[in-house]
Amino acid sequence: MDSVRRSGILLHPTSLPGRYGIGSFNQAAYDWVDFLAYTRQTLWQVLPLGPTGYGDSPYQSFSSFAGNPYLISLETLVEEGLLDQYVLDAAPDFPRERVDFGAIYHWKPPLLRRVSAEFADRATPEQQAEFDAF
């Protein structure tokens, strides 16, 4: 049997550094992938990525199909013109060394609902076409 050995790291994206209370698929995730490549790791096991349920565990999800909205990068929404920077500038001081799920539950969902509600007015034609194709 011919097999190739590979190695990698298990790290849930919520454990990545994040200014807004939780790690997300922001620049820190890209930097992490670059680090994995630099150290010749070939696997990143992310654990389940669904919305977390009781206990905030990735294994206690309410859905097998939905993605966790807390992994949406707020920085990317600003870069894409879908959220104003001043909103992030007014963010609470979240702890940097851990995720405070209670605090983000009260802060991030209203921002995501706002982006969703304003999407039709703020989206570029390309963004609208991508959304329609999705």
Is residue 3 a part of any domain in this protein? no
Is residue 47 a part of any domain in this protein? yes
What is the end-to-end Cα distance of the chain in Å, rounded?
A: 42
Give the domain range for residue 22. Answer: 8-133
Measured CA to CA, the distance from residue 120 to residue 72 in angstroms comes to 18
Written as tens digits, the pLDDT of the chain (134 aa) is: 678 889 999 999 999 998 999 999 999 999 999 999 999 999 999 989 999 888 888 888 888 899 999 999 999 999 999 999 999 999 999 998 888 888 999 999 999 999 999 999 999 999 999 999 99
Largest pairwise CA distance in the chain? 58
Whole-structure pTM value: 0.87
CB 26 within 8 A of CB 101: no
Is residue 96 a part of any domain in this protein? yes
- Number of domains present in the structure of the chain: 1
Is residue 24 a part of any domain in this protein? yes
